[in-house]
Amino acid sequence: MKELILNNTGTELREIVKAVLDNRRLAPDEALTLYRRADLSLMALLATHVKKARSGDAVFFNRNFHIEPTNICIYNCRFCSFHKPEGDPDSWELSESEILDIVRRFDGIPVTEVHITGGVHPSRDIHYYGRILSAIRKLRPDISIKAFSAVELHYMISEAGMTYSDGLKLLRDYGLDSIPGGGAEIFDASLRRRICSEKADAETWLAIHEAAHNLGIQSNATMLYGHAESPEQRIDHMRILRELQDRTGGFNAFIPLKFRRENNRMSELGEVPVTEDMRNYALSRIFLDNFSHIKAYWPATGRDAALMSLAFGTDDLDGTIDDTTRIYSMAGADDLNPSLSTTELVAMIRSAGYRPMERDTNYRTLKEW
């Protein structure tokens, strides 16, 4: 196979392709050349080679649901279709008891994770969210709580006058188990100023994740792509994540998030084609050699593209979701009520020729289907 691939690769790419097949780390300029010059089938072959060396035929998923406590946000990122200012008729602000009612809907259902994220509300503080974490923990001691993007954490911890480490310790005492990857967007400072000038900058996002990892709190990392960024800026974003992962090993998964254009102030940019999504998944699988998992978040990409991405190096389809997230349906994703049963997820994974593995938040296998 290796010989076949190399014999069909032009001289410009041969050394880079050989490096990937020999499991050698690519430098950013090599990744850029690969991204620019390799055709889609070569990207698929290389990413699959890397994926199989890491996780064989396994493809992971979990049983999860989301809680989005509020869409009121002090920031107004240009790409966001979810944000509403306080007082807007389309804004929502769930009370503590409404949040707990969502958790109770899953009584008797074997979910293993709740993912909590939302707008940065001006007047809800670290103890308010902490009380919610401990109430959830009391109701469902068996599920893992993955909560608050680094942007939300930065606001609540800074407002409390605490260091990131002390704030995270406090939240852990309340019940926090892990941190989702949101808010990373794109690290490049000038582009970040154009698309989300007000919120936490790249250094802040990274400092919070590093502080979490140092406390043994694992997290995910995302990248918002397919808007105004260049391939160099994407690769640089991944380089920065790869360096942090070298230091801490605390990231569970990398999640490329495709920019969706409806109902936001970047609509004029349009959306990239599915071939670009696949190229990007493959590149991240190849370049992020120290990330165990690349996640295709199907409510954002659509089910078909998520399924197709399994041939481009992804090994995780997130979870059942159960119609509990609005972020992507508000931004124009096809699935207005995202929900997949375990049976559907298992069938999707099998249809791509892989072995479905139900996992917990930190990728311990719970059941091989």
Could you list the residues that contact ligand V47 (CB under 6 A)? 79-81, 149, 180-183, 185, 220, 222, 224, 255, 257, 259-260, 264, 297, 318, 327, 331
* Shortest distance (Å) from residue 331 CB to ligand V47: 3
Q: Which residue is nearest to ligand V47 (CB)?
A: 182
Q: Would you call 189 exposed, middle or buried from its count of C-beta atoms within 10 A (0-12, 13-18, 19+)?
A: exposed
Whichever of 34 and 319 has its CB closer to ligand V47, that residue is 319
Whichever of 51 and 209 has its CB closer to ligand V47, that residue is 209
Whichever of 45 and 168 has its CB closer to ligand V47, that residue is 168
* Shortest distance (Å) from residue 179 CB to ligand V47: 8
Q: Nearest 5°: CA angle at 189, between 188 and 194? A: 100
* Shortest distance (Å) from residue 79 CB to ligand V47: 5
Q: Is the dihedral of CA 263, 269, 275, 280 positive or negative?
A: negative
* Shortest distance (Å) from residue 351 CB to ligand V47: 23
Whichever of 27 and 271 has its CB closer to ligand V47, that residue is 271
Whichever of 283 and 331 has its CB closer to ligand V47, that residue is 331
* Shortest distance (Å) from residue 135 CB to ligand V47: 22
* Shortest distance (Å) from residue 115 CB to ligand V47: 6
* Shortest distance (Å) from residue 227 CB to ligand V47: 8
Whichever of 49 and 326 has its CB closer to ligand V47, that residue is 326
Whichever of 25 and 323 has its CB closer to ligand V47, that residue is 323
